[in-house]
Every structure is written in structure tokens, then in C-alpha cells.
């Protein structure tokens, strides 16, 4: 089944404790992206990757890192999480062929930073 998977789905952590949220897609998509969703703000893009070893900042990259060593994986790293990073996070991927294709979203990771 074609899908985007994220792990963990739920995470409660404490301020300053490094964490990684994994994202994997099995559709051979080149483009992958991370969003965070907060009440009243919709979804905002954190980072995106056009292909392996090519990443760039989105609208709200502060406090996050990403890496793209393989096409299928695009982990989101919080080196020193803070309470304002409590949010619902989504990974998405998109096929490369035309500019009109929709994005496929993962199920989300609900992160709480105490």
C-alpha cells in the first residue's frame, strides 16, 4: 500500500531532551516536507527536501533540523525541544512528474514538550 508513515504517533517529552520524528514513504517520491499544525494557524511548512541531500527551510524552521540521506526517509530532529514546539506534526511527499500533483500526508505525530 502506498503510504507515508510517521513514528512515533504520540510523544511526550521534556524541555531540552533531543528527539527525532521519523518519516518514510514507499512511493519513490523525490519531494518531501514537514509541517506543523497549530490551532488557528493552519499548517505551516517547517522544512522541505527536493531530493536526496537537498533540503531547505520552510516558513518556520527555527528549532528544527532535517536530513535526507535516502529518498524514502526524511527525519525531523528537535535538538533541544521547547514547550512552544508542542504541536501536531505532519510529513508529506509529492510525486516529481508534474507540478500539479497532490501531496500525500502521513498520519501525524502529536508532540507535547513539558
Partner 1 sequence: SQQGEEDPQALSIQEGENATMNCSYKTSINNLQWYRQNSGRGLVHLILIRSNEREKHSGRLRVTLDTSKKSSSLLITASRAADTASYFCATDAGGTSYGKLTFGQGTILTVHP
What does the binding site for partner 1 look like in residue numbers (CB under 8 A)? 4, 31, 33, 35, 40-45, 48, 50, 58-59, 88, 90, 92, 94, 99-108, 110
Nearer to partner 1 by Cβ, of 69 and 100: the residue is 100
Nearer to partner 1 by Cβ, of 73 and 103: the residue is 103
CB of 59 to partner 1, least distance (A): 8
Rounded distance between C-alpha atoms, residue 74 and residue 34, angstroms: 9
CB of 108 to partner 1, least distance (A): 5
Nearer to partner 1 by Cβ, of 38 and 79: the residue is 38
CB of 114 to partner 1, least distance (A): 20
- Where is 78: in which H helix or E strand? strand 76-78
Task: Report the chain's terminal Cα–Cα distance, integer Å.
Answer: 36
Q: How many helices (H) does the chain have, and how many strands (E)? A: 0, 11
Written as one string, the DSSP assignment of 48-75 is: EEEETTEEEE-S--TT-EE--SSSSB--
CB of 61 to partner 1, least distance (A): 13
**What phi, psi does 57 have (nearest 5°)?**
-75, 145
Nearer to partner 1 by Cβ, of 22 and 104: the residue is 104
Amino acid at each position: 500500500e502506498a503510504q507515508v508513515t510517521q513514528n512515533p504517533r504520540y510523544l511526550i517529552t521534556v524541555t531540552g531532551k533531543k528527539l527525532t520524528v521519523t518519516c518514510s514513504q514507499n512511493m519513490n517520491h523525490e519531494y518531501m516536507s514537514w509541517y506543523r499544525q497549530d490551532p488557528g494557524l493552519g499548517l505551516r511548512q517547517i522544512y522541505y527536501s527536493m531530493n536526496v541531500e537537498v533540503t531547505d527551510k520552510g516558513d518556520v524552521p527555527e528549532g528544527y533540523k532535517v536530513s535526507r540521506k535516502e529518498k524514502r526517509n526524511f527525519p525531523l530532529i528537535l535538538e533541544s525541544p521547547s514547550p512552544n514546539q508542542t504541536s501536531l506534526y505532519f510529513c508529506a511527499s509529492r510525486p516529481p512528474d508534474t507540478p500539479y500533483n497532490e501531496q500525500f500526508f502521513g498520519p501525524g505525530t502529536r508532540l507535547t514538550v513539558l
